[in-house]
A and B are shown apart, each in its own frame.
Chain A
Amino acid sequence: MPSSTEKLPAGAYNPPMPEAFPVVQGPVAVFTRAKDESVIRRRIRYQREADVSWTERVVSQPGCEGLYGCIQCGTCSASCPLAIYMDFTPRRIIQLVREGFHHDVLRSQTIWLCASCYACAVHCPQDIHITDVMYTLKREAIAANVAPKRFPIPVLAGVFYDMVRKHGRTSEFWVVLRLLLRTNPLGFFSMARTGIALLRTRRLSFVQDRIKARGELQALLPPAEEVH
């Protein structure tokens, strides 16, 4: 047996297992295997998937310093208007961050569903600025390029970002148009009813608003930018 101090290749003690583990092997198994067995998933977290240095990096961002104080009371999830739609509730995200499971966190829908309403931050008995944690995770997800490509919210952020960088102001029509083209072109039709109402009341402009001192803006924004 190798001693515990020798380095082993990853996976040596834990060979990858198939997702679904058939009870009966062989060609007969195709007919005899129960239909629902394929939904059996194996879910366990190993410490090699956890990276506490990532946690430290998140916690070092402005606003995130209270994260370690989480007592997992669940007030954040209870006060969050979007919690019932999230794959991980805010409380679970905090615990996942605390334990270093960046893979789950950065691919979750939670961070994108967060509407930044600050209900969680105001209610949290440990005074954790959960909204700031969500923003940090959004940035991390974009920087790591794992934000879902056709999920409207990160795409919206990117479209908004580009437009402001270039013109200094946004024009709602062009933001929505670009967003729909990238995520759901057919969505244009379902937006039609609202769009017509906006046109009728002249709340919608086709003109791209822009500032005069665009050069000033270019100088202002940091040069080497994280791209989405």
Chain B
Amino acid sequence: MSDATGQPRVGVYVCHCGTNIAGVIDVKNVAEYGATLPNVVVSREYKYMCSDPGQELIHQDIHDLRLDRIVVASCSPLLHEHTFRTATEAGGLNPFFFHMVNIREHGSWVHTDRAAATLKARDMLRAAVRRVARHRALETRSVPINPDVLVLGGGIAGIHAALTLANAGKKVYLVEREATIGGHMAQFDKTFPTLDCAACILTPKMSQVKSHPNITLWTYSEVTKVDGYVGNFKVEVTRHPRYVDEALCSGCMQCVEACVYKEGRVPDAFNYGLSKRKPIYMPFPQATPSVVLIDPEACIDFKSGKCKKTCIEACDRDAIYLKQAANVEEVNVGSMVIATGFQPFDVKRTPYYGYGHYPNVFTSLEIERLVNASGPTGGEVVGRDGKKPKAVGIIHCVGSRDQHTNKWCSRVCCMYSLKLAHLVREHTDAEVFNFYIDMRTPGKGFEEFYQRLLNEGVHFVRGRVAEVTDWAHDRSEEGKLVIRVEDTLIGTVRRIPVDMVVLSVGLEPREDAQDVRRLFNISCATEGFFLERHPKLAPVNTSTDGIFLAGCCQGPKDIPDTVAQAGAAAAEALALIDAAHIELEPNTAYIDAEHCSGCKTCIPMCPYTAISFVAERDRVAVQKAEINEALCKGCGTCVAACPSGSIHQNLFEDDEIFEEIAGLLETAG
């Protein structure tokens, strides 16, 4: 639709954005300036360009004035580029003949000098008008979405996401690294604020997962390779050998009983080392799947080859197979939900609390196991010396809110510390002291829970404990653990001797979070938790399309929030699947094959592994690099790196960029 001379016909629209832009920039001036620029047929100003009437302006002008290029000077493209591209397309033009200038986030929101900001807006507009003349028509690409989903992690987040997706009729692969699903929640006794028994509410869901026809449950397995892109992921899952056939084992545990070890020797990870297990073991009584496994590092047969193998004798289903090898499965899925959870803070990093040095200093998770009826002591809360404590100190914020360890607040510790205070009192009648900095109880029913604890006679001392010591001032402190703290509310330093100290550890990202994120091509935030696309508006999406987050791997949170997030992640995946197709942004790079010399410089540079080297195709030598449009995110690295300049990028062609630069550098009128 260019005019007779082949010159483009540009329409310029400058937005007031209410007072967001107009409050600092003289919009009228900018619009008037726009009219003086070459190729500009019309230049308008409007209060809210993103509104219906605003977009209508564009439609009308394209029709009436036969425009073929549109420039809108308003807010950030991240917000409304899509809106205006759609408007341009609705007016009958290819949407990529549109260009946006950000005079809000780059103009009125960051400057206070009206005159200078207005001049800057004019410069930016001039550059944009020159650039848009060079825009080419582009087409978005549509790719189909595979309806199957992979859920990584079998804690409550993964379980809930998997069940939601499976109930919607989608096929789900639930991959869990441990030998059983259940995650940390399976280790808790009661949950706040209702004091629901964790196992009672979790095990029905675990059993549903096991029996659901749409869920393929792979425990003791890890994802080892991920290829592909949204809608088409190719995932390699390595299933580690249990040395027991999952299909045959009925979970009767006769083999464990028959093991040559009469007693457990290996610290039991489920009970945080407070009890011991045998080399052949069931992770915990309600493990799902209910299948035993053998630890090759502890089993005599694996270590020396000489064992009577009484376990094999005892099994009447012949389920034990010591020569079992790892098995690699490959699946195709369209989307994935990452729900790998958290790890607790390592208290060895805070040696001043005496963990490991004094036997009766425990972590909160260890106490969870102690109070649990199916724990190592059958629910008896006793110290490592077997004695029941008469006074217990619970220290909040261990490892959290601290510049030396983890800067963040772990969100759940105040609530679980209150819960433990209640449970410890219930089990021991001991005097319980909670030492806190702030009492954070924001959720539904949480403040009421705090009120309940206040009325149960628990001591609340507002003060962060500096150290736990066995230094005794007098006879009454001998043999006790003394907590030295400033009671900031009374206003004095106190020494409180207790028999047992509970360290309320914070939540932190798993050790291998960086490895996982590289595997999946997602990002981690500075603290190490996986990064969501937007903290408020897209908390379960990642910046990689098709991969969603759920649970504590994205940030510390309690069970209600985890379940909500898992449901949200499942919903996002379902939205993707039900749309059946996804449009890919055409700002991708492409290689001019004629000029590509096959030097392979670009290939290792691509952070999205979108470039591959094609040696030959159909028996014909090619020896050139090729870019997978679907994987390419348009970062431009290869474009800059190519020594022969053979790589170009849609929407960022050389002439487009040079025009923009020239436009900026032109001395303004």
Can you show 25 pairs from A to B with CB atoms below 8 A apart? A71-B437, A74-B437, A74-B464, A74-B485, A74-B488, A75-B464, A75-B486, A76-B486, A77-B488, A77-B493, A78-B463, A78-B464, A78-B466, A78-B467, A78-B485, A79-B467, A83-B493, A89-B486, A123-B466, A125-B397, A125-B401, A125-B403, A125-B404, A125-B464, A127-B404
Q: How large is the interface on A (under 10, 10 to 19, 20 to 34, 35 or more residues)?
A: 10 to 19
B352 CB-CB contact with A under 8 Å = yes
User: A73 to chain B: which residues have CB within 8 Å?
Assistant: 397, 401, 437, 463-464, 488
0 or 1 for each of B375-414: is its CB under 8 Å from A? (1 = yes): 0000000000000000000000100011110000000000
Indicate the member of A72, A76, A119 with the most B CB atoms within 10 Å. A72
A109 CB-CB contact with B under 8 Å = no
Q: Is the interface of A mostly helix, strand, loop or mixed?
A: helix
Q: Is the CB of A74 within 8 A of B486?
A: yes
Closest A residue, CB atoms, query B485: A78
A91 to B437: give the CA distance in the assembly, Å.
13
Number of A-B contacts (CB under 8 A): 64
- A91 CB to nearest chain B CB (Å): 6
- Which residues from chain B sit less than 8 Å from chain A, CB to CB? 352, 397, 401-404, 437-438, 462-467, 484-488, 491-493
User: B465 to chain A: which residues have CB within 8 Å?
Assistant: 75, 78
Q: Is the CB of B464 within 8 A of A89?
A: no
Contact A78 B486, CB 8 Å, known A92-B491, A127-B403: yes
- B187 CB to nearest chain A CB (Å): 28
A126 CB-CB contact with B under 8 Å = yes
0 or 1 for each of A82-124: is its CB under 8 Å from B? (1 = yes): 0110000101100000000000000000000000000100010
Q: Is the CB of B466 within 8 A of A79?
A: yes
- Which residues from chain A sit less than 8 Å from chain B, CB to CB? 71-79, 83-84, 89, 91-92, 119, 123, 125-127
A71 to B400: give the CA distance in the assembly, Å.
13
Contact A72 B401, CB 8 Å, known A79-B467, A123-B466, A125-B464: no
Q: Is the CB of A72 within 8 A of B488?
A: yes
Indicate the member of A73, A75, A79, A89 with the most B CB atoms within 10 Å. A73
Indicate the member of B401, B466, B485 with the most A CB atoms within 10 Å. B466
User: A125 to chain B: which residues have CB within 8 Å?
Assistant: 397, 401-404, 464
Closest B residue, CB atoms, query A119: B466
User: B486 to chain A: which residues have CB within 8 Å?
Assistant: 74-78, 83, 89, 91
Closest B residue, CB atoms, query A79: B466
A182 to B487: give the CA distance in the assembly, Å.
38
Closest A residue, CB atoms, query B463: A74
A101 to B267: give the CA distance in the assembly, Å.
56
A123 to B488: give the CA distance in the assembly, Å.
16
Give the top 8 A-B pairs by smallest Cβ distance, nearest first: A78-B466, A74-B486, A77-B486, A79-B466, A73-B464, A125-B402, A74-B463, A127-B403
User: B491 to chain A: which residues have CB within 8 Å?
Assistant: 89, 92
A126 to B464: give the CA distance in the assembly, Å.
12
User: B403 to chain A: which residues have CB within 8 Å?
Assistant: 125-127
- B468 CB to nearest chain A CB (Å): 11
A91 to B462: give the CA distance in the assembly, Å.
13
- B459 CB to nearest chain A CB (Å): 16
A1 to B491: give the CA distance in the assembly, Å.
42
Closest B residue, CB atoms, query A84: B493
Closest A residue, CB atoms, query B403: A127
Closest A residue, CB atoms, query B484: A78
User: A71 to chain B: which residues have CB within 8 Å?
Assistant: 401, 437-438
User: B352 to chain A: which residues have CB within 8 Å?
Assistant: 123
Closest A residue, CB atoms, query B405: A125
A221 to B345: give the CA distance in the assembly, Å.
49
User: B462 to chain A: which residues have CB within 8 Å?
Assistant: 74
Contact A75 B466, CB 8 Å, known A84-B493, A91-B488, A123-B352: yes
Closest A residue, CB atoms, query B487: A74
Q: Is the CB of A78 within 8 A of B493?
A: yes
Indicate the member of B403, B463, B464 with the most A CB atoms within 10 Å. B464
Closest B residue, CB atoms, query A90: B486
User: A123 to chain B: which residues have CB within 8 Å?
Assistant: 352, 466
- B471 CB to nearest chain A CB (Å): 12
A72 to B489: give the CA distance in the assembly, Å.
11
A126 to B409: give the CA distance in the assembly, Å.
13
User: A78 to chain B: which residues have CB within 8 Å?
Assistant: 463-467, 484-486, 493
Indicate the member of A74, A77, A119 with the most B CB atoms within 10 Å. A74
- B440 CB to nearest chain A CB (Å): 12
User: B484 to chain A: which residues have CB within 8 Å?
Assistant: 78-79
